[in-house]
Amino acid sequence: MRSLPTVLLPVFLTTSFCISVASWAGNEVPFDASSERSEHQIISIVAEKIFVARDQNFPPKRGSPEYDENIIHMDSRYQARYGVLKVVSGDFDAPVIDFEAYDHYGEPRFSKGDEAILVFIHDGPHGRVHSKYNFYSVYPTADGDWAACGDAYVQNDPKRKNKEPLEDISFLDPVEVNVPDFYVTLNDYVDEDDVVSDARKAEFQAEVVSENAEIDGLYQAPIWKRNGATATCLLGTRVVDLHAFQNETRFLPDQRDEICKIRHADELEGLDWQDKRVIVKACADVLKIQNLP
C-alpha cells in the first residue's frame, strides 16, 4: 500500500494538530462512522484501505441496550477505515474516512484487493454506511484521473439493460489479468469425497471445458488486448462517469421509491408487496419524467 501523507486533523481527534495517517492504522484514533449531517448524501470517493475489521459487537448480544429479540440479523457488520485519494462527489474534505459495511457473505469483497477502489457511502443522520456490495476497483490514468476497467462479464451480458459507458483509457501502468486465473476446475463441480460415476464425471468435465472457453472469450477485443494468457485493459470508465451511472441507475431510483412510499403511506397500508410495488413504481415513474428529485 502506498504511504499516505502527513495531514492536519481536528483537535478533538488528537492532542496534537499534526498527525501522520499511519497512526490511523492503529488504535490511536478511535473508529467513528458517525456523521454531523442532518440530511442524507452519497459520498463517492477513490480510497485506499487502512483497515477493515469485523464489528464484534454486532449483532447485539442478549442483555445489551441494542438487543431486540424480534430482529433477526442476516448480515455481519464491518468497520472500514480508508485513506481518501479523491472525492468524486459529495461534501467531504478529510484525508481519512470511517464507515460501516454490512455483508451477508462474510468479509466485504471491496476489502480483499490491494488496489484503490471507488466506494459509495451513505452519509447522514444514521452515520456513514457503505452502499451494499457497490464498488469498483480503479487505477490511475496517464492524464491524472482514475478509472475502472470495463467489466468483461457485464459488458458481454446481452440481458443487462444498464451498462457502464466505456471509452479508450490510457492507464498510468498497464492493467493486466492472467485469464486462466478465472478458469473453473472439476473440483468446482465435484468434491473429492463425492462418489461419481465415470460417465457423470465426463459430463462435468465437458461443462468445465465449455465454461472456460466462455470465460476465455470474454477477455477479448475491444475491451481487452490479448497476448497469450495475459489480457491488457484498453476500455474503461472514469470515476466521474461511474458515479453518474450509479446515481442514475441506483441512487435516484432508491430516492424516488422512498419519496413515493411516504407520499402513498396510507394507500399502501395493508396491501401485499406486489400491489405496493405497482403503486410505488407508478409514482416513481412520474418523478423520473419530472426529473425529480
User: How would you label 26-42 residue by residue, b for 16+ Cβ within 10 Å and e otherwise?
Assistant: eeebeeebebebeeebb
26 lies in the same domain as 66: yes
Whether residues 135 and 216 fall in one domain: no
Note the pLDDT of residue 22: 61
Domain of residue 179 covers 170-233
From the DSSP assignment, how many helices (H) and strands (E) are in the chain?
6, 13
**105, three cell numbers:** 457473505
Question: Of 188, 203, 233, which marks where a domain is finished?
Answer: 233
| pLDDT for the residue numbered 12 | 32
The reply to whether 148 falls in a domain is no
Q: Specify whether 126 is located in the same domain as 249.
A: no
Q: What is the pLDDT of residues 215-251, one digit of tens each?
A: 999 999 999 999 999 999 999 999 999 999 999 999 9
Say if residues 160 and 178 touch (Cβ distance below 8 Å).
Answer: no
Q: Which positions of the chain have pLDDT values less than 70?
A: 1-23, 26-27
CA atoms within 13 A on the CB side of 246: 24
Rg, Å, the chain Cα set:
23
User: Which of 99, 121, 140 represents a domain boundary (last residue)?
Assistant: 140
Split into its structural domains, the chain has a count of 3
120 and 175: one domain? no
Last-in-domain residue among 140, 159, 183: 140
pTM value is 0.85
Q: What is the pLDDT of residue 274?
A: 96
Whether 128 contacts 100, CB under 8 Å: yes
Are residue 279 and residue 214 in the same domain, yes or no?
no
Within 8 A by CB and 6+ apart from 261, the residues are 268, 280
244's enclosing H/E stretch is helix 239-246
Question: Which pLDDT score is estimated for 27?
Answer: 62
Residue 164 lies in a domain: no
- Whether residue 80 is found in the same domain as residue 103: yes
> Is residue 201 assigned to a domain?
yes
The pLDDT of residue 107? 95
